[in-house]
Chains A and B, each alone.
Chain A
């Protein structure tokens, strides 16, 4: 009787400490916390809004967007994901040329989209841990019209926090651009060099 009671208690205590360890694990195990991801997005969005409200010319703004994109986003991972399997068959200089063209294309295209945010206010509302990092949710409010949601996928690589994807009302930049780049590659006869030339003219 006595022994089994003791044993039970020990099992019980062991269970509790295991549970505590398990709940403590995520913050100890994963370097990317929700707070850190939220901070990254707060900084990123405040940089974007600074550009929008700067009153600079369109080309100057695209240059600024390009800098912000390179600073906060995992440009190479995004570019690679948008190209998909053809990435494997490209050689090193093609990969480099494609990534550079992609980066400028995104800065032009999304720079244009972000300019429509003039006069709005963005607020980070929540964050949740997902298998590949953190998904940060924010709301963009325009005076007198319905707010819309922008979600940001943040991950950490080699100790660096980076933005990977953004969703405007559920529309993913990566999914949309993968479709677009796939069509461009089709029209380029599957040739990466022609795709790069096409990208330089698009957006």
Chain B
């Protein structure tokens, strides 16, 4: 996905293929799932989960810890800021597609304020301008596309059909992934990957608790992902999702 600046046509071809796929996917009925989640491919997903765990144990975890060990905290922090900054143009596109004026204003303000530091600092958060993290999976939700089935992707982990398509489109849509001057193309992705390693290192306690200490790490990861995702899509905890303290079993 390291796209060259000369490959506009191929990007648009990719996008049109994806949109066609999307329409086809949303038209066909998904198989019925046994669990409370829409997870009809659970057995395949579990195999992918084991693969991802192996990858984390052998490669991603150690790499992240190595990165965390040799890199001064300040640099890791700056990398996180730059990754967030480079994501803002794509985020603005999603704000527009969702018709979210308030979100767009936030994104543009963040970009303007953080430009003062060339994206190295995050003055915007300190100034109380929140990051709305709009993404294309969310845009599809706003456009009333169904969430589709749950699946676990290689390396990237938990997702849903809608979020996977969203991720691919976001990657293709983000201008910082391909239209920067030659030699620096792919910068958005590079910082994105470093940022993920930084997160893997920073949150290693929570991540390792989930992956290696929970009773059924596949089920836990699925539950955590979908709960957090629905929280983002619904803009908070909804009344319908609350448990009943008086439920009698």
Contacts and interface: CB of A to CB of B under 8 A. Distances in A.
B223 A176 contact: yes
Contacts of B242: 130-132, 135, 153, 165
How many B residues are at the interface, by size bracket? 20 to 34
Contact of A202 (B130, B215, B241): B215
Interface in A115-164: 116, 130-133, 135, 137, 144-147, 149, 151, 153, 155, 157, 164
B77 A157 contact: no
Given A144-B77, A146-B125, A180-B214, A80 B231 contact: no
A132 B244 contact: yes
A187 B215 contact: yes
Nearest to A131: B239
A74 B246 CA distance: 11
Contacts, number: 94
How many A residues are at the interface, by size bracket? 35 or more
B220 A147 contact: no
Contacts of B247: 81
B220 A171 contact: no
Interface in B214-248: 214-216, 219-220, 223-224, 227-228, 230-232, 236-237, 239, 241-247
Interface of A: 74, 77, 80-81, 83-88, 112-113, 116, 130-133, 135, 137, 144-147, 149, 151, 153, 155, 157, 164-165, 167, 169-172, 174-176, 179-180, 183-184, 187, 202
Contact of B224 (A130, A145, A176): A176
11 contacts: A81-B244, A81-B247, A88-B249, A113-B206, A130-B239, A132-B242, A145-B125, A146-B125, A170-B227, A175-B223, A183-B214
A126 B10 CA distance: 48
A78 to B, nearest CB: 8
Nearest to A153: B242
Nearest to B128: A147
Contacts of A169: 228, 231
| Majority secondary structure, A binding face | mixed
B246 A132 contact: yes
B231 A167 contact: yes
B131 interface: yes
B14 to A, nearest CB: 31
Contacts of B131: 146
B195 interface: no
A115 to B, nearest CB: 9
Nearest to A173: B243
A10 B122 CA distance: 62
